[in-house]
Structure 1
Amino acid sequence: RPGVRVWGVETQGAQAMSEALKAGGPVPVALTSIVSTLSAPSVSRLTYDHVAELVTEVLVVPDRDAVRGSLDLADHAKVWAEPAAGCLLPAARQVLERVGEGARLGLVVCGGNATTADMMAWTDHFSLR
């Protein structure tokens, strides 16, 4: 489907791909995000090459927005998802600003690496109650 565009999303402090794209290849990054499942200390050359060729842009959102996205998925979609999936909602809002409200978006929601205690702690940390 040549008309399909793909965006990636990372959280601030887990920006291995966006930093690699800026640098023109894989670079080491310091991981500080609560979303530890989203990034590695660097991306592989193979992954970088695929993303550089096929992905429109890699968006970066704050941890707070990723946690808010997880809470929104739970409240509105009745889906329990960790912040690695929660970051999709704020990223999707950014995409809609770029391409227009009439666009049809598909989100790949996965991951279950957050416990109730994790979510409660992050909700308190970011004052999201």
Structure 2
Amino acid sequence: LKQGDESTWTRFEFPKEETNACVALVEAPRGSLGHFVTIKGKTITHYQVVVPSTWNASPRDEIGQKGAYEASLTGLPVPNPDEPLEIIRTIHSFDPCLACAVHLIDTDSGKLREFKVEV
């Protein structure tokens, strides 16, 4: 801007009948952010966004590697299971873009516990 360049975008023409796949990746404040789009002619035929919370909250992958949340909770000491504040603090350290409620299931008893965090 200081040098007088006020352009905000660059015109680009896609080939009319070809299929084009585009990917944009960036490290955002919460982690990796990806945009994936397929364009045929002038029509978007596929669009997917993978946000940081998707990566962080993901389950184990096809070779058994833990997702970030699971890895951070594995072995975490929880002195009072009836008030598992350590779990909430650990997940909040990722600053997830999720609802501020946590539901835990005790796999031994099947008991559901719900915790709401007022923000």
Q: What TM-score comes out, normalization by structure 1 length? A: 0.23
Q: What TM-score comes out, normalization by structure 2 length? A: 0.25
Structure in which a larger fraction of residues adopt helix? 1
Structure of greater Rg: 2
- Indicate the structure whose relative CO is greater, using CA pairs within 8 Å and at least 6 residues apart: 1
